[in-house]
Structure 1
Amino acid sequence: MCVFLTTNAQITKNLESVDSIQKQLKLLKTNDSLEIAGKYFQIGEIYRKSLLGDSAYHYLRKAEKLFKAYNSKYESAMALYGIAVSQTYDKDYTGSELTSTEARAILNELPPTNNVNMYKAYIFNNLGIVYDELEQFEESINYYEKSLQLKRSLEGDFERSIGLTLNNLLKVYRRAGKYNLAIEKFNEIVANKNLIKNYPDVYVLALGNYAYTLYQSKNHEQLPGLYLKALKISDSIGGRYNSIILHQHLAEFYNDLNKKDSAKYYGYKAKALSEEFNNDDLLKSLRILSKIETGEVAANHLRNYVVLNDSLQKIERARRDKFARIRFETKQIEQENIRINKERMWLLIITIVIIITSFLLYLIILQRNKNKELQFAQKQQASNEEIYNLMLSQNESIEEARTLEKKRISEELHDGVLGRLFGTRLSLDSLNMNNTEQAIKTRSQYINELKAIEEDIRKVSHELNTDFVSGAGFIDIIKTLVETQTSVYNLKYKLLHDDTINWDAVANKNKIHIYRIIQETLHNIHKHANALFVKISFKLKNNVICLTLEDNGNGFDVDKAKSGIGLKNMTSRIKDIKGKLNITSTKNKGTTVTIEVPIA
Structure 2
Amino acid sequence: MIDSIKKSVKNLKPVDSVNIANQHYKIGEFYRYSQKSDSAFYYYNKAEKVFKKQGLKYELAITYYGIAVVQCNEKDYTGSEVTSVEAIALLETLGSRNDVRKYKSFLYNNLGIVYDELEQFDVAIQYYEKSLRLKRGLKGDFTRSIGLTLNNMLKAYRRAGNYELAIEKYREILSNSDLTTNYPEVFVLALGNYANTLYVSKEHDKLPGLYIRALEICDSINDNYNSIIIHQHLAEYYNYINVKDSAKYYAYRAKDLSTEYYNDDLLKSLKLLSEIEEGDTATDYLKQYVELNDSIQNEERKIRNKFARIRFETDQIEKENIKIAKERMWLLIISTVLIIASFLLYLVIRQRIKNKELQFVQQQQEANEEIYNLMLSQNDSIEEARTLEKRRISEELHDGVLGRLFGTRLSLDSLNMANSADAVKTRGDYIEELKSIEEDIRKVSHELNTDFVAGGGFRDIIETLIETQSSAYKFQFEFTHDDSINWDIIPNKNKIHIYRIIQETLNNIYKHANASLVNISFKLKKNVICLVMKDNGAGFQVNRARSGIGLKNMKSRIKEIKGELNITSKVGVGTKVRIEVPVTETTTNV
Report the TM-score when normalising by structure 1: 0.53
Question: Counterparts of 1:135-534 in structure 2 under 5 Å?
Answer: 135-328=119-312, 330=314
Q: Is the 8 A contact 1:44 1:58 kept in 2?
A: yes
CA distance in 2, matches of 1:343, 1:43: 33
CA distance in 2, matches of 1:88, 1:39: 23
Q: Is the 8 A contact 2:42 2:310 kept in 1?
A: no
Which position in structure 2 is the counterpart of 1:126?
Answer: 110
Q: Which amino acid aligns with 1:159?
A: T
1:42 aligns to 2:26 (yes or no): yes
Q: Which amino acid aligns with 2:221?
A: I
SS at match of 1:219: coil
CA distance in 1, matches of 2:219, 2:166: 25
SS at match of 2:88: helix
- Report deviation, 1:77: 0.7
- Report deviation, 1:337: 7.1
CA offsets per residue over residues 177-215 of structure 1, 9 Å max, x none?
A: 110121122122123211111101111000100000010
- Report deviation, 1:133: 0.7
1:110 aligns to 2:94 (yes or no): yes
Against the structure 1 CA distance between its residues 104 and 271, is the aligned structure 2 distance closer, same or farther, given a 3 Å change threshold? same
SS at match of 1:272: helix
* % same residue: 64
Against the structure 1 CA distance between its residues 239 and 342, is the aligned structure 2 distance closer, same or farther, given a 3 Å change threshold? same
- Report deviation, 1:329: 5.2
SS at match of 1:290: helix
- Report deviation, 1:341: 8.1
Q: Which amino acid aligns with 1:231?
A: L
Against the structure 1 CA distance between its residues 182 and 92, is the aligned structure 2 distance closer, same or farther, given a 3 Å change threshold? same
1:83 aligns to 2:83 (yes or no): no
> Where do 5+ consecutive residues of structure 2 fail to align?
330-590
CA offsets per residue over residues 390-443 of structure 1, 9 Å max, x none?
A: xxxxxxxxxxxxxxxxxxxxxxxxxxxxxxxxxxxxxxxxxxxxxxxxxxxxxx
Q: Is the 8 A contact 1:95 1:323 kept in 2?
A: no
Q: Which amino acid aligns with 1:161?
A: S
Q: Which amino acid aligns with 2:2?
A: V
CA distance in 1, matches of 2:269, 2:9: 42
SS at match of 2:242: coil
CA distance in 1, matches of 2:328, 2:161: 60
Q: Is the 8 A contact 1:283 1:309 kept in 2?
A: yes
Q: Is the 8 A contact 1:286 1:305 kept in 2?
A: yes
Q: Which amino acid aligns with 2:251?
A: G
Q: Which amino acid aligns with 1:258?
A: N
Q: Is the 8 A contact 2:45 2:311 kept in 1?
A: no
CA distance in 2, matches of 1:342, 1:135: 47
Q: Is the 8 A contact 1:53 1:86 kept in 2?
A: yes
CA distance in 2, matches of 1:124, 1:267: 35
CA distance in 2, matches of 1:281, 1:305: 11
Q: Is the 8 A contact 1:104 1:123 kept in 2?
A: yes
CA distance in 2, matches of 1:208, 1:256: 17
CA distance in 2, matches of 1:65, 1:126: 22
CA distance in 2, matches of 1:239, 1:344: 56
Which position in structure 2 is the counterpart of 1:23?
Answer: 7
49-58 or 29-38, which moves further after superposition? 29-38
CA distance in 1, matches of 2:46, 2:10: 16
Q: Is the 8 A contact 1:251 1:266 kept in 2?
A: yes
- Report deviation, 1:318: 1.5
Q: Is the 8 A contact 1:169 1:185 kept in 2?
A: no
- Report deviation, 1:333: 6.2
CA offsets per residue over residues 218-264 of structure 1, 9 Å max, x none?
A: 11111101100111111111111101000000001000111100000
CA offsets per residue over residues 259-287 of structure 1, 9 Å max, x none?
A: 10000000000001101224211100000
- Report deviation, 1:332: 6.4
CA distance in 2, matches of 1:85, 1:279: 17
Which position in structure 2 is the counterpart of 1:66?
Answer: 50
CA distance in 1, matches of 2:242, 2:196: 18
Q: Is the 8 A contact 1:80 1:100 kept in 2?
A: yes
> What value does the CA root-mean-square deviation take over the aligned residues?
2.1
CA distance in 2, matches of 1:97, 1:18: 29
Q: Is the 8 A contact 1:290 1:302 kept in 2?
A: yes
- Report deviation, 1:25: 1.4
CA distance in 2, matches of 1:343, 1:27: 29
CA distance in 2, matches of 1:333, 1:35: 20
Against the structure 1 CA distance between its residues 268 and 328, is the aligned structure 2 distance closer, same or farther, given a 3 Å change threshold? same
CA distance in 1, matches of 2:134, 2:262: 32
Which position in structure 2 is the counterpart of 1:32?
Answer: 16
Q: Is the 8 A contact 2:211 2:234 kept in 1?
A: yes
CA distance in 1, matches of 2:317, 2:46: 13
- Report deviation, 1:323: 2.0
Q: Which amino acid aligns with 2:212?
A: L
SS at match of 1:157: coil
- Report deviation, 1:336: 7.8
Against the structure 1 CA distance between its residues 22 and 335, is the aligned structure 2 distance closer, same or farther, given a 3 Å change threshold? closer
Q: Is the 8 A contact 1:25 1:36 kept in 2?
A: yes
CA distance in 1, matches of 2:203, 2:323: 63
CA distance in 1, matches of 2:323, 2:135: 41
Q: Is the 8 A contact 1:21 1:39 kept in 2?
A: yes
CA distance in 2, matches of 1:92, 1:331: 20
Q: Is the 8 A contact 1:63 1:79 kept in 2?
A: yes
CA distance in 2, matches of 1:100, 1:311: 28
CA offsets per residue over residues 442-497 of structure 1, 9 Å max, x none?
A: xxxxxxxxxxxxxxxxxxxxxxxxxxxxxxxxxxxxxxxxxxxxxxxxxxxxxxxx
- Report deviation, 1:322: 2.4
CA offsets per residue over residues 523-556 of structure 1, 9 Å max, x none?
A: xxxxxxxxxxxxxxxxxxxxxxxxxxxxxxxxxx
- Report deviation, 1:340: 9.1
CA distance in 1, matches of 2:147, 2:159: 18
CA distance in 1, matches of 2:234, 2:199: 10
189-198 or 44-53, which moves further after superposition? 189-198
CA offsets per residue over residues 320-362 of structure 1, 9 Å max, x none?
A: 22223444555566678779989999xxxxxxxxxxxxxxxxx
CA distance in 2, matches of 1:248, 1:309: 18
Report the TM-score when normalising by structure 2: 0.54
> Where do 5+ consecutive residues of structure 1 fail to align?
1-16, 346-600
Q: Is the 8 A contact 1:95 1:324 kept in 2?
A: no
Q: Which amino acid aligns with 1:95?
A: G
1:100 aligns to 2:84 (yes or no): yes
CA distance in 2, matches of 1:340, 1:143: 43
Q: Which amino acid aligns with 2:274?
A: S
Which position in structure 2 is the counterpart of 1:355?
Answer: none
- Report deviation, 1:69: 1.6
Against the structure 1 CA distance between its residues 104 and 338, is the aligned structure 2 distance closer, same or farther, given a 3 Å change threshold? farther
